Amino acid sequence: MRVLGIDPGLATTGYAVLECERAPRVVEVGVIRTPADELLSERLHTLYSDMRRLIEEYRPDVLAIEELFFSQNRTTAMVVAQARGVVLLAAHGLTVTSYTPLQVKLRIAGYGHAKKPQMQKMIQRLLHLKELPKPDDAADALAVALCYMLEMRSPLRRALSKRASRE
């Protein structure tokens, strides 16, 4: 199984490709950046093109994406929502799963209010990385992809799937 994890943003979108046979393994991790001096439509087109390239190159089975959470800045929320929409459009045809930041933190660190350094240390440990994952957007994308893989491998999930297939 191959999962493409995405932390959406307009200036910087983090991405991570994980593969799992027995244990999750990092295939690729990085960020897509769009220049702030370009028109919004150009930036969104760059994001779309780069997402399509990633999907074509790595052929993921699933796209796991972080849901948006904004408590104050509505302007930023709207722009990030547009970027998230472009990512979802680029992922047309793939199975897509969304996670809130709380869900990702609970699954990775066991605590829904874990801070970035704690999350990065847990990702490093769980994926056996030599260094802390950086930048933050790429680390967040790793966390989202890993969240999906851990959810799919959970004993409860397997038990529910077996029960559903018998019914």
| Distance (Å, whole) CA 145 – CA 57 | 17
Tokens describing residue 94: 């793939």
Cβ-Cβ contacts under 8 Å for 34 (sequence gap 6 or more): 10, 11, 12, 42, 43, 44, 46, 47
From the candidates 19, 50, 66, 140, give the one annotated as an active-site residue.
Answer: 66
DSSP characters over 19-30: EESSSEEEEEEE
Nearest to 15 by CA among 52, 41, 68: 52
Tokens in use for 67? 């849901």
Q: Is residue 28 flagged as an active site residue? A: no
Burial (CB count <10 Å: 0-12, 13-18, 19+), residue 105: buried
Can you tell me the distance from the alpha carbon of 56 to that of 79, in angstroms, rounded to the nearest whole number? 26
Catalytic residue among 7, 19, 50, 140, which? Answer: 7
Q: Is 140 a catalytic residue?
A: no
Name the active-site residue from 19, 50, 137, 140: 137
Residues acting as catalytic residues: 7, 66, 137
